[in-house]
Structure 1
Amino acid sequence: MSLSKKLSMVLLACMPATLLAQGCGKASDPVQVVQAQVEAYNAHDIDAFAACYADDVSIVDLSGKHPPIQGIAALKTTYAFLAKVPKAYRVAIVQRSVSGPVVVDHERVLGLPAGKGQPEAFAVYEVRQGKIQRVWFPPAQ
């Protein structure tokens, strides 16, 4: 890996989540948009997190266990818990696949209380015009 590539990766990792999320809506690369929302989520910054989503976002749990989330207001309400969880709470990307505007993340939840384990899930993001338009969470096995 070149020195400039390494330096870019270090600088990206050190950026505050709010600065990363400011790229949402301006970046056309779906991976950048999804990564910015992951960073904002892990920083527990609900405003930066929501900035990565379209106003009319649709988030669907395909297991049927949770009702769909429609729009930014509902997204902010649903994810308001981020302001209250311990700093250690976050998601790690186990694997990421990309096909055009679709980004599929295999995620692992970290920082849960003892005995809760490290649950894993898949998230399928559709990114259009620099914003996440739709998200699907397939059922866990």
Structure 2
Amino acid sequence: MFLSKNVAALCLACMPAALLAQTCGHSSDPVQVVQAQVDAYNAHDIAAFAACYADDVTITDLSGKDSPVHGIAALKTTFAFLAKVPKDFHVEIVQRSASGPIVVDHERVIGLPASKGQPEAFAVYEVRQGKIQHLWFPPAK
């Protein structure tokens, strides 16, 4: 059955995050993999989120403020806060660009206390064999 991209995207948006995370292991499309991890992040589902990453993932804060994160165990520790944040905490994708295995998201954080506003950041993903291999966070302004 043929579905337009808009209908397919709508169908994906209706799926539970755990089901979307299956995309991470079964799709080689970098955009689908990144979207599945965003959906799992927004659902605060650490297991589904981690399923989108390679076992030897590297996450690097290019500002140098935080040490790099290496491996799935460290990723799960770093993102354990997701289990404790309010349900309305999530990221919105302001804009997404993709070229080959690289996906760049301009993200806005929603659900923080009013004093913190709605910070925006960029996330640069490298997806190989259906998993996020590298994630870089360029410095914010």
- The code of the aligned residue for 1:97 comes to S
Structure 2 segments unaligned to the other structure (5+ residues): none
**What number of residue pairs does the alignment pair up?**
139
Relative to the length of structure 1, the TM-score reads 0.95
CA distance in structure 1 between the partners assigned to 2:48 and 2:131 by the alignment:
12
Match of 2:24 in 1: 24
Q: Percent of aligned positions with the same letter in both sequences?
A: 77
Q: Distance in 1 between matches of 2:36 and 2:133?
A: 15
Correspondence for 1:68: 68
Aligned AA (1:81)? F
Number of the residue aligned with 1:105: 105
Tell me the secondary structure at the aligned position of residue 35 of structure 2: helix
In the alignment, is residue 126 of structure 1 matched against residue 126 of structure 2? yes
Amino acid corresponding to residue 20 of structure 1 in structure 2: L
Q: Using the alignment, how far apart are the partners of 1:9 and 1:103 within structure 2?
A: 17
TM-score (norm 2): 0.95
Residue of structure 2 equivalent to 1:46: 46
> Structure 1 unaligned runs (5+)?
none
Task: Give the aligned CA root-mean-square deviation in angstroms.
Answer: 1.2
C-alpha distance in 2 between matches for 1:136 and 1:8? 28
**In structure 1, distance between residues paired with 2:92 and 2:7:** 22
Q: Give the distance between the partners of 2:9 and 2:32, measured in 1 at CA.
A: 13
In 2, Cα distance between equivalents of 1:98 and 1:10: 20
Q: Residue 85 of structure 1 aligns to a residue in which SS?
A: coil
SS at match of 2:25: coil
> Could you list the per-position Cα deviations for residues 20-40 of structure 1 after superposition, in whole angstroms to 9, with x for gaps in the alignment?
001112101000000000000
Cα drift, residue 12 of structure 1: 1.3
User: Which deviates more from structure 2 when the two are superposed, residues 82-91 or residues 108-117?
Assistant: 108-117
Shift in Å, 1:9 = 3.0
